[in-house]
Amino acid sequence: MRLHKTLLASSLLTAALTFSCNDAQQNANATTTETEAAIAAPNSLKAAFEGEFTIGAALNGRQAMGQDADAIPVITQHFNSLTAENIMKWGPIHPEPDKYNFEPADALVALSEQHGMELIGHTLVWHNQTPDWVFENGKGKPASKAQLLQRMEGHIRTVAGRYKGKVHGWDVVNEALNDDGTLRQSKWLTIAGEEFLEKAYRLANEVDPEAELYYNDYNMWKPAKRDGAIRLVRNLQEKGIRVDGIGMQGHWGLENPSIAQIEESIIAFSKLGKVMITELDIDVLPNPSNRNGADIDATFEFDEQYNVYTNGLPDSVQQKLAQRYADIFALFRKHSDKISRVTFWGVSDANSWLNDWPIKGRTSYPLLFDRNYQPKPALEAVLQPVNKQANAQ
């Protein structure tokens, strides 16, 4: 019964929101001041934040290939920036030494061009989703430093080279830091040493001098990691190596990190270049340990007690999520002079990786659109302050 009410309430809200959007469009020719104010109010994320920052979404392979018909209208209405959730990562795009799989990424490029959206390349150098052969010598032993750096060079030349002039910016290196700000003991570091960082950015710059080059990581609100990221980027910049901006992955919770913690990092990173909120999603599910961040290897066995909303999100949590999104967007707007892009990690709850991480097979609700690509109250909470402002003008 309670569940039924929750579902009913949320479909009414959805209906009201959809109706008000359609209504504003249908009345486009009416002349009353009130209607004009309603028309002035943006009904899409990209319109709402135009002039402040672009609004991105990570697309999965099916969406990139146009195989998810319901996704396209939402993507084109709300987003003006696209990121490949997986299809440009080393494993999917370069699974074997001489084998590249460009088809899905090419489709994403075409989609972004067709709709005039910026495309973000994710990612050239990462310790995850990178095949073992990259780090091996072909005989089951670790690759030598020269071998590994040569492979990296070939990869960057081929992938960034193919998408030269098409990619607005590259996450050149992803997640090279531990939470304490020291360099992660990845195979990149242990085999090639710190030089891999320098080489990656130098090469990306050489191959696509017009593309912006970013460093991207999670838990960037943590003071020690923030300092580590600043050290990493500043060291490169001081050597004359181009790093244009820092991506703060927004894999956050309902309560943590605090707005103040996020704000401190936005301000600190802005001194080095552009700041982007990448990979935004708010986890509403309970987790076995006080997890934060997004280490994709930190997983737990399935346990029903952590899969608490299989029949829908209770209203109270829905409202909490909406408020959390309102608060973080208020912060982003306050710093829109520093933030160039806000990218959601997925379009709808159905596509979110949080259904499978850190526990596989859960029902998660981290985004602004529900499993049927319908707007959630959180979307309205993000748009409403902008609408109010538009109406007041």
**9 scored as a contact of ligand XIL (CB under 6 A):** no
Closest distance to ligand XIL from the beta carbon of 193 (Å): 23
Q: Which amino acid is at 169?
A: G
Smaller CB separation from ligand XIL, 174 or 348: 174
Rg value, the chain, Cα:
21
- Could you tell me the two tokens for 109? 């490029």
- Helices 2-26/315-334 angle, 10° precision: 40
Is 96 tagged catalytic?
no
**197 scored as a contact of ligand XIL (CB under 6 A):** no
Catalytic residue of the set 175, 206, 212, 238: 175
**281 scored as a contact of ligand XIL (CB under 6 A):** no
Interacting residues with ligand XIL between 333 and 372 (CB under 6 A): 353
CB of 343 closer than 8 Å to CB of 278: yes
Closest distance to ligand XIL from the beta carbon of 174 (Å): 5
CB of 329 closer than 8 Å to CB of 336: no
Smaller CB separation from ligand XIL, 48 or 284: 284
Q: Which residue in the shown chain puts its C-beta closest to ligand XIL?
A: 353
Smaller CB separation from ligand XIL, 44 or 352: 352
Catalytic residue of the set 279, 301, 304, 380: 279
**294 scored as a contact of ligand XIL (CB under 6 A):** yes
**85 scored as a contact of ligand XIL (CB under 6 A):** yes
The dihedral built from the CA positions of residue 74, 384, 379 and 293, taken in this order, carries a sign that is positive
Return all residues near 258 (Cβ < 8 A) that are at least 6 apart: none
Residue among 14, 54, 174, 318 that touches ligand XIL (CB under 6 A): 174
Q: Which amino acid is at 289?
A: S
Q: What span, in angstroms and rounded, lies between the C-alpha atoms of 298 and 106?
A: 31
Is 52 tagged catalytic?
no
CB of 124 closer than 8 Å to CB of 204: yes
Active site residues: 175, 279
Q: Which residues bind ligand XIL (CB under 6 A)?
A: 85-86, 174, 249, 279, 294, 296, 353
